[in-house]
Structure 1
């Protein structure tokens, strides 16, 4: 009965109730209809969030906020313009490259969608119309959680436990991320050619590229220092996130000189709000997860899946299909917190590499941020551009199909995901 109550209230979340609130109601309702001591609620919640690795989340969020206020978007766009030159669909290509650069300092799709949308859509819509422009920004923003540093991968690694390294998961996203960038740019080129979009941008010039690289190289040094330090063992992921904040402050105050002391309170407040939402979901979900364990759902789910198939690939395909449905109705952070403790141990029983499964899990839910009815990136862009959700979905589906194609490719050929982590010693 307790499980039924829990899933009823989680279903309400898909209908619009705030996720943290819905998880809290589900926790209380599940305990009320069970024989478990109600006093477990506060202790379970406190133990769930009282974890040193979780400090990585607010630090990386704050680093991204500071870099945004430091004016890195302008430099990223100028560099992307110089690299692309004058081609058909050039402004859309610039958006994708700018999204790739932004993902190396942000790690969050919603933040990237907000930054790219407010900066690029006014220019894009004049050339391509509001629907296609918003779809390109949505696809570019979704690079954020795939190319490291990734907030989603940090949450996954925390929920999966010691079998998954944050640095290893970061490295797992590099090669698929580069392939995804190239694939999106090819799709943009194909659509631009098919629809006869005009040429945009200035003619390519090596001198211009060199000039923009001189202006921007110090920005791209941050992910090299931070991620390289984490992978190389110079510091932990939490320490690396703190280094990212210090680096962002130095960039903003002394390089771009766009960051002021007056900007810091707003950045810290926004960071606190975002971190509090994630923390609340982790706290309440820990109680729900405990209830699922008490009712032996993990063991039952393991037995069910093992009874259905003994083939790891079939298991991956079943998980992929399940996460596709989950991604349509549940916000990604809530899905990580609820499902990773259930599915990750089962994947290990099937002999699937934890980094391979972790990347596929994250990538699948990242794509879910572009699928209705609860595609948060879509809602952000609808608010920025004023495009109707139906029109945006019509334009974004080719990009979603492309991403699912790459997801299937990564599932069939694990080397795409695991080559770089293995090279780095993971």
Structure 2
């Protein structure tokens, strides 16, 4: 029965059927084949999304949309410009720094890609051309689910159960996120130097840095307050998302003064659309997961993997290879919901640190958001910037390769992932 459900889902997804609908049809097919009472389906669907932790996802989405509408993104760009200074490829560096700053608040790659494409590409393309500019923005947006807070990590922790804490996963992403940030900056410099792109930006000035810090001090406080509060135990991720949303509204109305009451309906509707897609997939996938459980697919899968290898390191490479393929064809949220309940228990049985495996799983699928043919970030950036897909993929490959190198490094050196959360008591 489990194999039939998987076949139905993959078949519908590959031919382009919307993923939530594909999950629903697969679940219904499994229920009919198992001769279940269909009356249990509405209950499974509602129980899956009736969750306090999942409320953080729409709130983080809303925070990102408010930041874009309120002009907070422009403040982040100004601040990044002050620290980067005059250098070859300086505007590209500003884009990466702005992406990291936005990632520390929104936690969603799609929202970040939309914000960065809208605000930065018009300036970037004048210096670097549309293709490279779009590639930079796509890479910078992918920092969103890696640098905490992260919507992807929240979904993973929810699907993995009590053995993985959201705060622990957030801290697991800090060191790798900083490494990736530095590597992306270095890549932008190298590519700019090799292609002879112009020197941009103003010389670094202590007076300008201090002026920008004074002007944007309240903006910088947003990620510090949200992440610090969650990690410090002052509030849950959901409460932290609500605090961040309220504070972003305060910044928009009282600090930047670019947010109007008339803007709120559009902001709420945009965030609600994205949240609805994620929520529908979680609801439909919960039924599929239920079918897998009663059909004992996790035990069968564990036996299959153990037949291939009993080495935990080899298991991690095996999963990484599988997720590489999965990320090319499935949307990441669907992959979390479908695969985490299957592979997380196996990783625990192998003695792999749950935080280590969780971060590797998230990073692998985050990279998949940049890989064709179903890279959602590619579609978002193409839709906003009007760059053709072939050009964007070609310009994105150096950044994708850097991300896969980081994945390999984290597999080989697990302390890069686990040292910080363990030091903080997770």
TM-score by length of 1: 0.98
User: What is the rounded CA distance, in whole Å, between the counterparts of 1:390 and 1:325 in structure 2?
Assistant: 19
User: What is the rounded CA distance, in whole Å, between the counterparts of 1:183 and 1:339 in structure 2?
Assistant: 29
The equivalent residue for 1:319 is 319
Contact 1:82–1:205 at 8 Å: present in 2 too?
yes
For residues 13-24 of structure 1, the aligned pairs below 5 Å read 13-24=13-24
**Structure 1 residue 37: Cα displacement:** 2.2
User: What is the rounded CA distance, in whole Å, between the counterparts of 1:214 and 1:134 in structure 2?
Assistant: 31
**Structure 1 residue 160: Cα displacement:** 0.7
**Structure 1 residue 2: Cα displacement:** 5.8
The equivalent residue for 2:424 is 424
Contact 2:105–2:226 at 8 Å: present in 1 too?
no
Deviation string, structure 1 residues 38-58 (Cα, Å, up to 9, x no partner)? 222111111111111111111
Secondary structure, aligned partner of 1:211? helix
The equivalent residue for 1:106 is 106
The equivalent residue for 1:360 is 360
Segments of structure 1 that go 5 or more residues without pairing to the other structure are: none
User: What is the rounded CA distance, in whole Å, between the counterparts of 2:237 and 2:97 in structure 1?
Assistant: 26
The equivalent residue for 1:216 is 216
The equivalent residue for 1:351 is 351
For residues 266-285 of structure 1, the aligned pairs below 5 Å read 266-285=266-285
User: What is the rounded CA distance, in whole Å, between the counterparts of 1:11 and 1:398 in structure 2?
Assistant: 31
**Structure 1 residue 63: Cα displacement:** 1.6
For residues 358-397 of structure 1, the aligned pairs below 5 Å read 358-397=358-397
User: What is the rounded CA distance, in whole Å, between the counterparts of 1:297 and 1:155 in structure 2?
Assistant: 21
The equivalent residue for 1:328 is 328
Matched, 1:297 2:302: no
The equivalent residue for 1:77 is 77
Give the 3 Å change call, closer, same or farther, for CA 5–239 of structure 1 in structure 2.
Answer: closer
The equivalent residue for 2:39 is 39
Deviation string, structure 1 residues 250-305 (Cα, Å, up to 9, x no partner)? 11111111111111111222222222211111111011111112222111100111
Secondary structure, aligned partner of 1:393? helix
Q: Which piece of structure 1 moves more, 396-405 or 193-202?
A: 193-202
User: What is the rounded CA distance, in whole Å, between the counterparts of 2:382 and 2:237 in structure 1?
Assistant: 34
**Structure 1 residue 217: Cα displacement:** 2.1
Contact 2:64–2:112 at 8 Å: present in 1 too?
no
Contact 1:2–1:31 at 8 Å: present in 2 too?
no
The equivalent residue for 1:115 is 115
The equivalent residue for 2:151 is 151
Secondary structure, aligned partner of 2:283? helix
The equivalent residue for 2:49 is 49
User: What is the rounded CA distance, in whole Å, between the counterparts of 1:57 and 1:119 in structure 2?
Assistant: 23
Contact 1:3–1:291 at 8 Å: present in 2 too?
no
User: What is the rounded CA distance, in whole Å, between the counterparts of 1:356 and 1:383 in structure 2?
Assistant: 35
Segments of structure 2 that go 5 or more residues without pairing to the other structure are: none
Secondary structure, aligned partner of 2:185? helix
Deviation string, structure 1 residues 354-400 (Cα, Å, up to 9, x no partner)? 11111111111000010000001111111122211111111111110
For residues 76-225 of structure 1, the aligned pairs below 5 Å read 76-225=76-225
Deviation string, structure 1 residues 162-195 (Cα, Å, up to 9, x no partner)? 1111111111111111110100011111111111
The equivalent residue for 1:61 is 61
Query: How many pairs are equivalent?
Result: 426
The equivalent residue for 1:230 is 230
User: What is the rounded CA distance, in whole Å, between the counterparts of 1:64 and 1:197 in structure 2?
Assistant: 31
Structure 1: 4+ residue segments shifted above 6 A: none
Secondary structure, aligned partner of 1:147? coil
**Structure 1 residue 71: Cα displacement:** 0.7
User: What is the rounded CA distance, in whole Å, between the counterparts of 1:107 and 1:16 in structure 2?
Assistant: 27
Matched, 1:28 2:42: no
Q: Which piece of structure 1 moves more, 1-10 or 330-339?
A: 1-10
The equivalent residue for 1:245 is 245
The equivalent residue for 1:339 is 339
Contact 2:147–2:170 at 8 Å: present in 1 too?
yes
User: What is the rounded CA distance, in whole Å, between the counterparts of 2:334 and 2:87 in structure 1?
Assistant: 41
User: What is the rounded CA distance, in whole Å, between the counterparts of 2:245 and 2:288 in structure 1?
Assistant: 33
Contact 2:5–2:288 at 8 Å: present in 1 too?
no
**Structure 1 residue 5: Cα displacement:** 4.3
Deviation string, structure 1 residues 67-118 (Cα, Å, up to 9, x no partner)? 2211111111111111111111111111001111111111111111111111
